Amino acid sequence: MDKSKFNFWSWRGTIDRGPYALIGVILFLLKHNIDRLVATGIFHRPWSLFNYWVPPTQAAGILTLSNPDIKLLATMLAISLPFIWVGVTLTVRRLHAIGLPAWLAVIFFLPIVNLVFFVVLSVVPSREGAKGVTHRPSGRLGDFLARLIP
């Protein structure tokens, strides 16, 4: 078994669309629940999906944040660092698999656009001959499964 396929910390290699999508969704659900537990349990603040796009305060800017808001946002940033690393490395590996340049991983940091980017990377098939990518068997059953399951 090739252990490099399961190394979420490495920039090397490729990842196929199915594992990329599955890991991405699982990591998002895990991170959201950790964020929700920290925000509600430690900071006594509600947390929802909209908090990723709308700041948890009515402050106009970072210089006007209250001390509790600074602590909350610093904690959320610290929690997010391993998820950012894994997300970027998996995105770079997915870009390698479909033959696109790794610098496109900067899209990972663009709000809302990154969701469309994730869907595109989860749907576009891997390039034939990309190192480390396995492809489905051909034939009627293989073609049917390829259409049914990415």
The pLDDT, as a whole number, for residue 10 is 75
pLDDT tens-place string over residues 47-74: 888 877 765 555 556 667 788 888 988 9
For 25-53, what is the mean pLDDT? Answer: 91
Dump pLDDT digits (tens) for 69-120. 889 889 999 999 999 999 999 999 999 999 999 999 999 999 889 999 999 9
Q: What is the dihedral of CA 53, 101, 13, 91, to 10 degrees?
A: 10
The answer, yes or no, to whether residue 132 has pLDDT greater than 80, is no
**Helices in 8-139 by DSSP H: which ranges?**
17-41, 67-98, 113-123
Question: What CA–CA distance (Å, rounded) separates 18 from 135?
Answer: 11
* Distance of alpha carbon 34 from alpha carbon 36, whole angstroms: 5
pLDDT at 143: 57
